[in-house]
Chains A and B, each alone.
Chain A
Amino acid sequence: MFSETFMKLWENHILQMGVWETIYMTLLSTVVAYIIGLPLGLVLCVTDKDGICPNRFINKTLSVIVNAFRSIPFIILMVAMLPVANFIVGTSLGNSAMVVMLIIAAAPYVARMTESSIKEVDAGVIEAAKAMGTPSFKIVTKVLIPEAKPSLIVGAVISTVTILGYSAMASTIGGGGLGQIAIVWGHQRSNSDIIWICVALTIIIVQIIQEIGMYIARKVDKRQR
């Protein structure tokens, strides 16, 4: 019964489509969320009162904005941001609209992840860089980011997995992917087999992302022998 359902979905290319949509939404949103979130996290770190260019005003303002977005549950944020998606991509339905939503939800998350990674960089190393006459901008590019790289990669893995989870939720209001298959084909038609197939596939995707990410993080970290 279980394998029959699986074969049926597979032969009709439904599963392949679902997996592809999930991966596509997740990766695209992660990349764009990083393009926005990484600089945001760096600014948060640099302007902190113990940072290299303390600036209370910028730090507080950004911090409040980031916290506001972080504290809204994703499902509510999604509904609230539908008009924004409509404004940016011209529709509030479908995968492109969902990607916009995911980015809005993920960018503040990424900012906080980045901030915590950068804050792990040894203050002594930053002091040494200052003592060697490094301008502030170069401290960011030549010291903070390279020194935090392994931690940033671990953060990226965690963020990607979180965004993958968000992407499944997005299918409740019109997104595609495995989430949609589970809800529309599984939940709404009371077919638990389909739900479990989606669960299994999601676990596999997460495992693959996790393993690849952690492998890279270990590979680039020169702190262990």
Chain B
Amino acid sequence: MMIRICLADDHAIVLEGLRALVDGEPDMTVVGATTDGDAVEALVRREAPDVLVLDYELGGRRAPEVIQALRQGEQVPRILILTAYHDGETIRSALESGAEGLALKTASPQQTLSAIRQVMAGQLVFPQAARRWLEARQASRSDEVTAREREVWGLIAEGLTNVQIAERLALSENTVKFHVQHLFQKLGVKNRTEAALRHATSGRVPRGPTTG
């Protein structure tokens, strides 16, 4: 089976090189490529690739932001982030963004090819050193949004503040804060606006056991 790949990198020379290399592999084909961070979603929608190789910094947009936008869509490809930086913050944010793997531009492009095959095979490809965060991600993935969190989420989407939510649900403000914090972690969002936006498409995120 051919792995269908889209490439997104704002360095045209990198795209050109990687495209030639990938197309030279018997089991891979590049179905689309872009240097424009704002064009990634449209490209993925159009081509529905198996794997998206995504530069960590794509013009003004960073990979986590692009991934979050992609997750609003119907079809989310497996995502391999390509970066020159292997510092803790980059590794961690790549992991937390929900990407399947990380490949380095300061290593052989051959390793990028291997990583594409690994994420295609369902593996998570991150440095061993990131295990502490990997475990946390796996734990939080198995955590579903609880009924209470879903309730809080709905009120956030209505534009209520924590104080107002506390009043409405007869909870203390601290308890609400606690639920909001966990909800954001589970949804992978940074703020209320993102949580509210996500609420509009909440059919695609894990539901609590007692919702309906």
A and B associate in one complex:
no
Which A residues lie at the B interface, using CB under 8 A? none
